[in-house]
Amino acid sequence: MRAAILDTNGPLDSVRIGELDAPSMRGDDLLVRVHGAAINPADLKVVTGKDGAAFLHAKNFPTSFGFDFSGVVEAVGRDVQGRSVGDEVFGFLAYARSTKQGSFAELVSVKPNTVGDKPPTISHEEAATAATAGCTALQALEEIGRLQPGQKVLVNGASGGVGSYAVQIASHLGAEVWGTASAAKADFVKGLGAACVVDYKTAPLADIGEKFDVVLDAASMSSFGKVSGILEPGGAYVTLLPSLGLLTGMLASFFSSKRCGVVVVKSRTANLNRLADWLRAGKLRASVDSTFSLNDITAALAAQQAGKAQGKLAITVAAR
């Protein structure tokens, strides 16, 4: 199969397009022909081998990489029920050291309980962008943040992949949403439904002068200690990256009514189908800044690294 290939860890331009064996498939797997994929910050770590890459993907070179995908079921394992050849599905591969395949490739082999039904109203590229980012936002807000309708949320890093889905999802769940972003992206975040956008470069979170029930630190640049003063009693600080600051925050939260937690996102059918329903109904918009062909994967990775995108960058793996 055609794939973006890593022969070893290195700079972004060491990625090449070539042929790899299709992933092996067990009786409880689905083989999915990938049409759309999406870039995540984790892809940069997997390519360079830095920043905890060993926990995200196996080092079985030559290897493909990439996590988010949307495509069509090409083969169904003999033990699988409820899925048929031709089903359109989306999801993401596990962020795990056991992951030996990638979505920047024509085929992925996945468990049925890790995919959802792709909404028929949007493209495969759009669906792929909702997989990791949408599930992370949903799991952070509901499962760790325990967000309730009528509450107030601050999304730090609201213009990014996770943040752009989090602003929309929190609004849809009935919260008042504030966001932080660089000044140039403030209008984009307002367009997602944020009531107020704060420039993180000029105003530290602690100085916002408002109280929140949930602070979702999508940028993972702050800490429980820094935002504790702007959390309501019983409120939650949720980050996306484990760190020493997270451990300190979790310890401090034992002596407080306020909570501190981290999300480790999982691809689950129930979450994906919920996102798909909202996308189909137009209650959630896929957050795509631009789309690159698989041949231009290095340019897409460089664009992610440059941080200029509003929302997500998508990849066309095979035109449909």
Ligand X SMILES: NC(=O)c1ccc[n+]([C@@H]2O[C@H](COP(=O)([O-])OP(=O)(O)OC[C@H]3O[C@@H](n4cnc5c(N)ncnc54)[C@H](OP(=O)(O)O)[C@@H]3O)[C@@H](O)[C@H]2O)c1
Report the nearest approach of ligand X to the CB of residue 219 (Å).
Answer: 3
Task: Examine residue 241 and tell whether it contacts ligand X (CB under 6 A).
Answer: yes
Interface pick for ligand X out of 138, 167, 192, 240 (rule CB under 6 A): 240
Task: Examine residue 185 and tell whether it contacts ligand X (CB under 6 A).
Answer: yes
Give the count of beta carbons closer than 10 Å to the beta carbon of residue 225.
14
Task: Examine residue 267 and tell whether it contacts ligand X (CB under 6 A).
Answer: no
The residue written with tokens 């979790």 in the block is 250
Task: Examine residue 132 and tell whether it contacts ligand X (CB under 6 A).
Answer: yes
Of 6 and 53, which has the nearer Cβ to ligand X?
53
Report the nearest approach of ligand X to the CB of residue 108 (Å).
Answer: 18
- Backbone CA torsion sign across 50, 54, 60, 64: negative
Task: Examine residue 156 and tell whether it contacts ligand X (CB under 6 A).
Answer: yes
Q: Which of 128, 122, 125, 187 is nearest to 158 (CA)?
A: 187
Task: Examine residue 159 and tell whether it contacts ligand X (CB under 6 A).
Answer: yes
Report the nearest approach of ligand X to the CB of residue 268 (Å).
Answer: 13
Instruction: Give the separation between CA 3 and CA 243, rounded to whole angstroms.
Output: 33
What residues numbered 52-111 form the site for ligand X, per CB under 6 A?
A: none
**DSSP structure string for 289-314:** EEEEEGGGHHHHHHHHHHT--SSEEE
Task: Examine residue 182 and tell whether it contacts ligand X (CB under 6 A).
Answer: yes
Give the count of beta carbons closer than 10 Å to the beta carbon of residue 9.
15
Start-to-end CA distance of the chain, whole Å, equals 17
What residues numbered 205-234 form the site for ligand X, per CB under 6 A?
A: 218-221
Coil, strand or helix at 10: coil
Contact set with ligand X (CB under 6 A): 40-42, 132-133, 136, 156-157, 159-163, 180-182, 185, 200, 218-221, 240-241, 263-265, 307
